[in-house]
Amino acid sequence: MQVEIRKGNFDKASDILVEFDRCNPGFAVIALRRIGIERRRAASINSENVSNYSSVISRFERLIHDSNTSTKLSSYYALKLARFHIKKKNDRKLATKIIKDAIARDKDNPSLYLALIDIAYTATTFKESSVVEAIDYALESRHLNDKEKLRFSQRKLDFLEDFGHSIQELQEHIEYHDRLQKTIEEKNAIVKAKLESKIGEEPSEKRARVEPVAGTAYPYPQQPFYPMATPYGSTAYNVPTGQQPFAFATYSYGSHPSAISQVQQTF
C-alpha cells in the first residue's frame, strides 16, 4: 500500500484497504488510513495552493455518525476531525462545535472537555475569558463526577494563578475548589464508615477466620538474619572476588526504602 502511495497511485492503495476492511471489518486504524490516503490525494491536487479536503471531512463525518460506531469511537473520530479543522482549515469555531456535539453524545468523556480547553488555550489570539469558559463548561457538567471536576478545578486554579487578572475571581475559585475537596472527603468518609459498619456486622466466626490474615502486617518480607555490616575497607574483612560488600547490597522491599539506605544510615 505504501509503495502505491509513493507512486501516487491513490486508487490502488485505497482498494487494498477496502479489501482488507471487507475481510477484517471493525479496525479503526484502517478507517484512519483510508482518510490519510484521501488527505494525501487532496494535497497532491493543489489548486492555487488551496487543497480541497471535502472528501476527508465527509469520510470523518460518516464514521462519526455511523450507527455501527460505538460512542467512544465516535468521540475519538470527532477529536481527529476537530484537530484537522484547526490544523488544515484554521477553523477553531467549527472545531469547537464538533467537540460540543460529541459531548452531547458522550457526556462523561473527560477527553472531550480537555479538547475544548486545548482549543481555547492554543488559539492564535489568546483570550483569558475563552479558556475560563472552556474549563467552566466541564465544571458545570452534570455528567462528570466530583473527582473529574476536581481535576478540572485544579486546572482552572493553576490557570488563574498564572494568567488571571482578577484577584477576586481567583479568590472565588479557591473557595469553590476547597468546597469541592471537602465534599469529596465527606463522601469518602461516609463510604468508609459504611464499609466498616458492614464488616462489624459480619458473624464472629467469619471475622475470626479473616481478621488474623488482614490484621497481620509485616513491614518487610522475612529475610535471613545478617550481622551488622561495617564500612567496606574499615576492617580486615575479605570480600570474595565478584561479591559485593553487604553494606552496599540493595534489596527491594516494594514500597519500603531499599536496604542500602537502611544500612548506610548506621555509619
Q: What is the DSSP string of 34-96?
A: HHHHHHHHHHHS-BTTB---HHHHHHHHHHHH-TTS-HHHHHHHHHHHHHHIIIII--HHHHH
Higher pLDDT, residue 12 or 218: 12
Residue 235 lies in a domain: no
For residue 74, tell me if it sits in a domain.
yes
Q: Count CA within 13 A, CB hemisphere, residue 120.
A: 20
C-alpha cell at 46: 493543489
Tell me the average pLDDT across 63-69.
93
Would 47 be classed as within a structural domain?
A: no
The answer to whether position 99 is within a domain reads: yes
**What's the mean pLDDT in 71-84?**
97
Within a domain: residue 140? yes
Instruction: Kindly state whether residue 178 falls inside one of the protein's structural domains.
Output: yes
Q: Is the pLDDT of residue 222 over 60?
A: no
Helix (H, G, I), strand (E, B) or coil at 13: helix
Q: What is the pLDDT of residue 27?
A: 79
- In this prediction, residue 208 carries a pLDDT of 55
Q: Which helix (H) or strand (E) holds 202?
A: none
What is the C-alpha separation between 130 and 96, in angstroms, rounded? 11
- Predicted confidence at residue 232, as pLDDT, reads 41
Residues for the chain: how many in total?
267
User: Amino acid letter at 144?
Assistant: L
82 or 10, which is more confident: 82
Higher pLDDT, 260 or 184: 184
- pLDDT, greater one: 55 or 138: 138
User: Does residue 247 register a pLDDT over 70?
Assistant: no
CATH classification of the domain holding 128? 1.25.40.10
Q: Distance (Å, rounded) from C-alpha 59 to C-alpha 54? A: 9
Do 251 and 259 meet the contact criterion of CB atoms below 8 Å apart?
yes
State the average pLDDT for the chain: 78
Which run of H or of E encompasses 172? helix 167-200
> Domain count of the chain?
1
Lowest mean pLDDT among 15-29, 114-128, 161-175: 15-29
| pLDDT value of position 40 | 83
DSSP-derived secondary structure for 87-134: III--HHHHHHHHHHHHHHSTT-HHHHHHHHHHHHT-SS--HHHHHHH
Give the other-Cβ count within 10 Å of 175's Cβ. 10
**pLDDT for 196:** 81
Average pLDDT over residues 26-30: 79
| Residues 183-209, mean pLDDT to the nearest whole number | 78
Interval 146-153 mean pLDDT: 97
Those residues whose C-beta lies under 8 Å from the C-beta of residue 51, and which sit 6 or more positions away, are 42, 43, 45, 88
Cell 534489596, residue? 251
Does 250 have pLDDT greater than 80? no
**Helix, strand, or coil (residue 253):** strand
Residue 184 domain flag: yes
Domain that holds residue 120: 52-192
Q: Is 229 domain-assigned?
A: no
pLDDT beyond 70 at 167? yes
pLDDT digits (tens, 9 = 90+) for 91-139: 999 999 999 999 999 999 999 999 999 999 999 999 999 999 999 999 9
Position 237 pLDDT exceeds 50: no
Of residues 57 and 194, more confidence is placed in: 57
Predicted pLDDT of residue 42: 81
* Stretch (H or E) spanning 165: none
